[in-house]
Amino acid sequence: MRLPTLGDDPAAIDDAAATAILSAALDSGVNYIDTAWPYHKQMSEPWLGAAVESLGCRDRVLLATKAPVWLIEKNADWECYLSAQLEKLRTDHIDFYLVHALNGKRWKTVLETGGLEFLAKAKADGRIGHLGFSFHDTLDSFKTIVDGWSDWEFCQLQYNYFDEDYQAGDAGIRYAAERDIGVIVMEPLRGGVLARVPDAVREIFSRYPVPRMPAEWALRHVLDRQETVTVLSGMGAAGQLWENAGVASSAAPNSITKSERAILDEARAWFVSKMAVPCTACGYCRPCPSGVNIVDTFGMWNEAAMFDTLEANAKQYQASLAAKGNGADACVECGECVSKCPQGIAIPARLKEARATLG
């Protein structure tokens, strides 16, 4: 979902740069490739299908994509989207198929539209290898979904040293593992913010005798969980790929010491004290009917809070968003974004705060 692009248009994937990253990933030992229907304005799946075909690596990769459950209105829609995704990915089967961004409301949609029956049938006919779901909601909703179907094989949860208790969190990981459901961790770097930490957090990390980049600290935290099957990191450059692969190759479950844990806990406490709004820049709130660029607005607000760069971020906000009609002042409080937000942010209210801060 964070492939390099030509300019600012998410749909304009830089094919050469993105394919080079995929090739480097294969060379480094990566074999699990995650995409989804809405990523890069629905261009991620077509790009990936073409790239895998051009590299001739289909037998070396495990493709994962997701059913856009928010678009499902009737039983036939499940077949429609799966067939389209198989065509986009240029394959006759999807190794790991997830119901995308499940929450309590969308779980009801799955049940009411015969989703579970369809998924079981598609697995039986060989078009799906393994069945799972990605999740953004409360721990109680997570438990309801896990216990609601005996055929779940894996789940995908947001987890990092900042979000240990957020949504399903640590408790959800343990709950799934106790039921033999594999756990895939997403957002290990929290949208990249844990790789671009401020000087105060770098100083915390510097107390450890072995030098480590901020991204390594974050990745080691999630790889330390023995329940973690694999970790998803949205790598947009070859350098990020090699750094992440190097960490994954050297990290081992249950290896973080008490002193390392204390450092991570201190870093987490710093972020908790500074974050203005818990936005991970996932983009699920897009598009806003009024044209508000919610992700960038919150991003500039958070950056100002964490990096103490209010003046610079306020100028950036005014020039790139407010002046073009995409700032928080364009919000009409329709509330459409609230139901889409995986983090459960009261977006209209928080946009008012962002506007008051950034001008």
Digit-coded pLDDT (tens) for 152-208: 999 999 999 988 888 899 999 999 999 999 999 999 998 788 888 889 999 999 999
User: Between the CA of residue 343 and those of 57, 265, 282, what are the distances in Å?
Assistant: 35, 22, 10
pLDDT of 272 = 78
DSSP 238-281: HHHHHHHHHHHHH--TT---HHHHHHHHHHHHHHHHH-SS----
What's the token pair of residue 37? 């229907």
- The reported pLDDT for the residue numbered 188 is 94
- Using CA atoms, how far apart are residues 142 and 127, in angstroms rounded to an integer? 26
- Given this model, what pLDDT does residue 353 score? 96
| Res 8: pLDDT | 86
Tokens 């991970």, located at residue: 280
Task: Name the stretches of the chain with pLDDT < 70.
Answer: none
Give me the phi and psi of 291, to 5 degrees please: 85, 10
pLDDT for the residue numbered 33: 97
The whole-number pLDDT of residue 180 equals: 96
Taking the C-alpha atoms of residue 226 and residue 207, their distance in angstroms, rounded to an integer, is 26
> Which two three-digit tokens encode residue 40?
């890069």
The CATH 3.20.20.100 portion of the chain extends over 15-272
* Nearest C-alpha neighbor of 191 from the set 306, 21, 308: 306
Spatial CB neighbours of 67, under 8 Å, sequence gap ≥ 6: 37, 78, 81, 82, 97, 98, 99, 100, 115
Q: Give CA–CA dist 321/291, Å, rounded.
A: 10
Q: What is the pLDDT of residue 273?
A: 85
CB burial of 267-298 (b: ≥16 within 10 Å; e: otherwise) equals bbebbeeebbbbbbbbbbbeebeeebbbbbbb
Q: Using CA atoms, how far apart are residues 299 and 277, in angstroms rounded to an integer?
A: 9
DSSP string covering 310-333, please? HHHHHHHHHHHTGGGT-SGGG---
Query: Superfamily for 15-272?
Result: NADP-dependent oxidoreductase domain (3.20.20.100)
CA torsion, ordered 163, 166, 172, 177, to nearest 10 deg: -10
Answer whether 208's CB lies under 8 Å from 182's CB.
no
> Residue 283: its pLDDT value, please?
78
Q: Show Cβ contacts of residue 319 under 8 Å, excluding neighbours closer than 6 positions.
A: none
Tokens of 229: 């099957």
In the beta sheet, which residues pair with residue 34?
64
Q: With beta carbons less than 8 A apart as the criterion, state whether 184 and 204 touch.
A: no
Quick one: which of 64, 21, 13 has its CA closest to 244? 21
Tokens 């050297």 -> residue: 250
